Chain A
Amino acid sequence: DIQMTQSPSSVSASVGDRVTITCRASQGISSWLAWYQQKPGKAPKLLIYAASSLQSGVPSRFSGSGSGTDFTLTISSLQPEDFATYYCQQANSFPRTFGGGTKVEIK
């Protein structure tokens, strides 16, 4: 299985801050990476697919980059509704695997 390692596991930030989350794959996954946002008690929401493509309806302050083994999710200016947990997921091979999550908390 491909292991997905996210860092940091949590981050405290203020509204307006730039936040960057990293995801590292244990082996190359090309650009087959998705990012999700999950709020407490809710299902995950797809933000980014194919490493850098913004899902329809997702604000442009979210962006993704990377290929191979190293990926980043950036929130350019954190908004109150962005406080949540973020997961990466590889879609290069089976089984699909998720990172452990990064919780974005209010500073």
Chain B
Amino acid sequence: KNEVEQSPQNLTAQEGEFITINCSYSVGISALHWLQQHPGGGIVSLFMLSSGKKKHGRLIATINIQEKHSSLHITASHPRDSAVYICAVSLRGSGSRLTFGEGTQLTVNP
């Protein structure tokens, strides 16, 4: 079993829909990251969370430390949001190394 599990693996939505991507982890962490990877391959960091909730534009990330669960929400989705969204965690005691989920491929159709 992976230490970081994401769901769903693939998600197709219509423009304007509200989108949720989930991430569960099984070990103690010091931080959780949400990352975005576009078709060219480069990765951009969206959020880093250790508790609570963060918002940036139409993106919202939440984390529940007790339940070892995080969600990434996209409001009013747009085709340009189409990308792979990756959850990654800094495991407690592993310094700065990250452990990654497999990613969620999001496609938003116009």
Do A and B truly interact? no
Chain B residues packing against A (C-beta within 8 Å): none
